[in-house]
Amino acid sequence: MKHNDNAHGHSLAEDLSTMLQLGSDRRQTLRWLLAGASALPLASCGGGSSTTAASSTSSTSTGTSTTGTSTTTPGTSTTPTNGACSVIPEETGGPYPGDGTNSNSSGVVNVLTQLGVVRSDIRSSFNGMTGTAAGVPLTIKLQVVNANGSCAALADCAVYLWHCDRDGNYSLYSNGVTQQNYLRGVQAADSNGSLTFQTIFPGCYSGRMPHVHFEVYPSLAKSTSAANRLKTSQFTFPMATLNEVYATTGYSTSVRNLAQISYATDNIFSDGYSLQMATVTGNPTDGYVATLTLAVAG
């Protein structure tokens, strides 16, 4: 199956897509690729909480919406209190990770080693770059739990998160924003495995459902090298929320692009996305809050 994370025409995306067409099972092929590159070392986060993670509700693609509030339709819990949870699928980091594994027009780029990357608010550029991404406010709340340890919270892990801006462009890579590094940041989980990012709602570019990329690391100290990552994946949002956000100023291109794609035809989510569907509340005026539990093999 074609596994193209981006349709911006960069050669890396095309090469990755071609390689991943060789296997009939997309995720199995990706695991083979990452294993061959030693990208997923056997490691775990430091210290797991003895308490079981609270139940988190996944939503379906037909999320419901009420006046002034966007909500999701209840689905299967990803972290049930009986200690059984499913590992979030491994996915490609795509052609724009900025984690030292590839290059942009100026050479290898690695924001993980840059001063200021550890931050909660990722809307502005950092480390000498200036500029702030405009868009509908979005708070992302994540909890990392151990699928091999009764779904207990994984304390002291770190998450590197990045996504495109409202125009569908990725900082450091896309034309016009190569001198920006906004919408990228690292956060360390607290004792409950929880962390929060303040950002803007990503746009929808041609060929992909809207999504957010992330990598999970054993600790903040080890988050400076992609070789230490435990998990690479993506998550998405309910259709009701997408339609609501894209009806606001600045997202007109996303309306057109979203009409040409669906979860069923997306190269990442077409084989299932229940564990990658964030629960979303809020509205365009006050902003949104997206919540998701990330079960990893800690």
The secondary structure of the chain, three-state, reads: CCCCCCCCCCHHHHHHHHHHCCCCCHHHHHHHHHHHCCCCCCCCCCCEEEEECCCCEEECCCCCEECCEECCCEEEECCCCCCCCCCCCCCCCCCCCCEEEEEECCEEEEHHHCCCCECCECCECCCCCCCECCCCEEEEEEEEEECCCCCEEECCCEEEEECCCCCCCCCCCCCCCCCCCCCEEEEECCCCCEEEEEEECCCCCCCCCCCEEEEEECCCCCCCCHHHCCEEEEEECCHHHHHHHHCCCCCHHHHHHHCCCCCCCCCCCCCCCHHHECEEEEECCCEEEEEEEEEECC
Kindly tell me if the per-residue pLDDT of 27 is higher than 60: no
pLDDT band at 44 (very low <50, low <70, confident <90, very high): low
Of residues 156 and 159, more confidence is placed in 159
Residue range 273-289: mean pLDDT, rounded: 97
pLDDT band at 298 (very low <50, low <70, confident <90, very high): confident
Task: State residue 283's pLDDT score.
Answer: 97
Kindly tell me if the per-residue pLDDT of 124 is higher than 60: yes
